[in-house]
């Protein structure tokens, strides 16, 4: 066993992009790739009761936030 401190995580939520009808989700691949490039990892989804994804939940080590900011900062929602 090592005596290193456990990793501290930073969490953020992203609302999936919606099409014009607001009922269909548009492809989030570009957004996910941008977030992954700066250290965010998709770890869970929060769903509406009855179906549909309300938020995508991401995490990254908290030390990453000091060195690199998210390209989608305006789209991320603190919960």
- Compute the half-sphere exposure of residue 25: CA atoms within 13 Å on the CB side of its CA: 14
Predicted pLDDT of residue 79: 39
Can you give the pTM of this predicted structure? 0.65
In 3D, which of 50, 60, 62, 43 has the Cα closest to residue 23?
A: 50
Question: In this model, does residue 8 exceed pLDDT 50?
Answer: yes
Instruction: Give me the torsion for CA of 16, 22, 27, 32, rounded to 10°.
Output: -20
The C-alpha angle with vertex 59 and arms to 7 and 29, in degrees rounded to 5, equals 145
For 45-75, how does the pLDDT look when each residue is reduced to its tens digit (9 = 90+)? Answer: 888 887 777 888 999 998 755 555 555 544 5
Predicted pLDDT of residue 51: 74
CB atoms within 10 A of CB 60: 21
């Amino acid at each position: 066993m090592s005596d290193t401190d456990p990793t501290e995580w930073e969490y953020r939520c992203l609302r999936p992009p919606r099409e014009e009808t607001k009922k269909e989700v548009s492809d989030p691949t570009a957004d996910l790739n941008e977030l992954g490039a700066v250290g965010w990892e998709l770890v869970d989804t929060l769903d509406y009761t009855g179906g549909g994804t309300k938020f995508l939940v991401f995490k990254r080590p908290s030390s990453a936030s000091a060195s690199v900011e998210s390209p989608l900062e305006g789209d991320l929602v603190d919960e």
